[in-house]
Amino acid sequence: MGRARPAHPARPACYDQCVALDERDFFNSRNETRTDQLNCPRCKRINDYQMRWVVRTKKDRIPPGADERDRALYAKLRDYMIRVDDAVTCKTCGKKFDIPSQHSMVFIEKGGSAPGPGKGAAAMVQGGDDDDSRFNR
């Protein structure tokens, strides 16, 4: 009457070794809280707000199991930060507003630490696009 379905599809014998490396294999991640000045669009007041960021720094050596494509990608990688919070609540009027989206991911400049409080995200960004990197999409 009914056909039995196979329990599991066939998997290649080298499943664990053939999987491409993930972004987490190339970076160390840590959470940080930073302060930045934002302007409330409703009451037009400027206040300091705490925002959560994930800071990803490139590992000092390439992970084991990398192929030639992974080695080429590793050579092009840069340290960067991703903002976790998308909205904050105004300290003056109490209304919630969105943080500008152009500051949601920023590259960290080489040779220095990430900018501290009061510095805009534009100070963190380096010029140039990297179309070949699968992590910058």
Chain mean pLDDT for the chain: 74
Half-sphere exposure of 93 (CA within 13 A, CB side): 11
Contact 81, 124 (CB under 8 A): yes
How does pLDDT run across 75-100, given as a tens digit for each residue? 888 999 999 988 999 998 989 998 88
Measure the CA angle with vertex 102, ends 101 and 108; round to 5°.
120
Q: How many Å apart are CA 131 and CA 88, to the nearest integer?
A: 32
Answer yes or no: is pLDDT of 56 > 90.
yes
Distances (CA, A) of 77 to 49, 57, 84, 92: 30, 9, 21, 41
Predicted structure pTM score: 0.61
Per-residue pLDDT tens over the stretch 101-113: 777 888 888 765 5
The rounded percent of the chain whose pLDDT value lies above 70 is 65
* Beta carbons within 10 angstroms of residue 85's beta carbon: 14
